[in-house]
Amino acid sequence: MSKKLTLGLFGFGVVGQGLYDIIKTKKLNLEIKRFAIKNPDKKRTLPLELFTTQADELLDDVEINTIVELIDDADAAFHIVSKALKNGKNVVSANKKMIATHLEELVDIQQAYGTSLLYEGAVCGSIPIIRNLEEYYDNELLHSVSGIFNGSSNYILSKIFNEHMDYDTALKQAQHLGFAETDPILDVGGFDAKFKLAIVASHAYGLYVKPEEILNIGIDQLSDYDIRFAREKNYKIKLVPTAKEIGNEKVILYVIPKFVNEKSILYSVENEYNGVVVQAAFADQQFFYGKGAGGHPTGSAVLSDIAALRYDYRYEYKKHLEATQLNHSNNHKITVYLRYNDESILEKLNFLKVSERHYAREFKYIIGDINLESLIANKDLLAADKGFVVEVP
Ligand code: HSE
């Protein structure tokens, strides 16, 4: 028998509204009792008495047994989610930054208070990757999990490569369609994809890795030169997060733009769609594809978590509990194309091997091997130079 859920919903933005639209059409054993919102002056589509700006009116309401957290302030979200779990309420959240930053603490709270936190909607919108990593791939050795985890940057890259749209117009469209974060540097700077990667790594490998220890290079410095270079070689550029297990001892995590050719399964993942490629020892390659952003796709993942709570579903974090030899490491060599401006950064970056160089006044690039550690150590320098880095397959 399923349990009746009485929900308190935090946030009524794109995803909150999307979730509400879906719930309205269903006959589920649940009701939304109250909505907590930040801005009381915004026009709402529901009766005003359902809304409050006081978080505690939901968190201290004994009738509310389930909190759904869909706000975009990660610090406020952590306060809400941890208090709700400690008050004996189960929680569904789609806040990737908050979860990636506080995952270990949130797991401890769930264990101490016997409550459950689910967050399928936080990673790749509608794609059910967390529950699959947790349950289906429980006993599989995963060689890698990679793909396209950010809808907004993929939307921008698709518009540039397929429709010759300029970067700023494409970004404005992604914002207008409700795909982008409030601060879009989180999308185009590769931060959002990195938060999702940290969560994926946790469920794939049983590791807690702080986001600040993971390299993220975004698409914000993409120039016409880079686009021309890619086109001449029949490449598209995609923003690709990678989690890779190496030699049964280390796990490599990084987010970087990547050249992909038409043989790559990611080549045809366009617009706000995401794709997750799982490379497993026995199942071999598997591919998950679906919308990664937007109110209804993300709302559908949130609803699936809510529905699972009717049966008291919880992540067991089994991979964390098993003794594991795996450690996170940034000591890993990749091949990159680097378009740069100031020659002096090459010395600091310490390329291990150079396979190609191009030198013209306004367009200089180098292709060669470099260690992730060096890219992390020199990230500020790269940003100041306004260069662009792309992984070469
Ligand atoms: N800004 C995110 C994206 C929303 O573009 O993918 C979904 O997490």
Residue 370 near residue 334 (C-beta atoms within 8 A): yes
Which residue owns the Cα nearest ligand 1 atom 4? 293
Phi, psi for residue 182 in degrees, rounded to 5: -55, -45
Whether 250 is a known active-site residue: answer no
Q: What is the CATH number of domain 330-393?
A: 3.30.70.240
Cβ neighbours of residue 5 under 8 Å, at least 6 residues apart? 29, 30, 31, 65, 66, 306, 309, 310
Q: What average pLDDT does the segment 335-351 reach?
A: 96
Distance CA 208, CA 99 (A): 11
Instruction: Give the ligand 1 atom nearest the CA of 155.
Output: 5
The domain segmentation of the chain, as residue ranges, is 5-130+296-321, 330-393
Residue 217 near residue 368 (C-beta atoms within 8 A): no
pLDDT tens, position by position, 36-86: 999 988 888 889 999 999 999 999 999 999 999 999 999 999 999 999 999
Q: Which two tokens stand for residue 109?
A: 């709270």
Which residues are bridge partners to 251 per DSSP? Answer: 245, 328
Q: Which two tokens stand for residue 74?
A: 């990660």
pLDDT value at 191 more than 80: yes
Residue 82 near residue 106 (C-beta atoms within 8 A): yes
Pocket perturbation via mutation, ligand 1, pick of 97, 119, 181 by most ligand atoms within 8 A of CB: 181
**Of 196, 236, 258, 364, which is the active-site residue?**
196
Residue 352's pLDDT is: 97
123 CA → ligand 1 middle, Å: 9
Q: Which residues line ligand 1 (CB under 6 A)?
A: 125, 150-152, 179-181, 187, 192, 292-293
241 CA → ligand 1 middle, Å: 14
* Residue 286: how many other CB atoms lie within 10 Å: 14
Instruction: Give the ligand 1 atom nearest the CA of 181.
Output: 1
Place of tokens 């993300």: 298
Residue 314 near residue 133 (C-beta atoms within 8 A): no
pLDDT tens, position by position, 207-256: 999 999 999 999 999 999 999 999 999 999 999 999 999 998 999 999 99
Confidence of residue 325 (pLDDT cuts 50, 70, 90): confident
Q: What is the CATH number of domain 5-130+296-321?
A: 3.40.50.720
Instruction: For residue 132, give the DSSP letter.
Output: I
Distance CA 251, CA 201 (A): 9
- Percentages (nearest 5) of helix, strand, coil residues in the chain: 40, 25, 35
308 CA → ligand 1 middle, Å: 23
Residue 323's pLDDT is: 62
Instruction: Give the ligand 1 atom nearest the CA of 154.
Output: 5
Distance CA 27, CA 148 (A): 34
Cβ neighbours of residue 205 under 8 Å, at least 6 residues apart? 142, 243, 245, 251, 319, 324, 326
Phi, psi for residue 370 in degrees, rounded to 5: -150, 150
Pocket perturbation via mutation, ligand 1, pick of 187, 191, 199 by most ligand atoms within 8 A of CB: 187
DSSP class per residue in 167-225: HHHHHHHHHHTT-S-SSTHHHHTTHHHHHHHHHHHHHHH-----GGGSEE--STT--HH
Pocket perturbation via mutation, ligand 1, pick of 150, 195, 271 by most ligand atoms within 8 A of CB: 150
Tell me what percent of the residues of the chain surpass a pLDDT of 70: 100
Closest Cα partner for 353 from 369, 339, 366?
369
21 CA → ligand 1 middle, Å: 19
Measure CA 338 to chain center: 25
Cβ neighbours of residue 141 under 8 Å, at least 6 residues apart? 245, 280, 281, 282
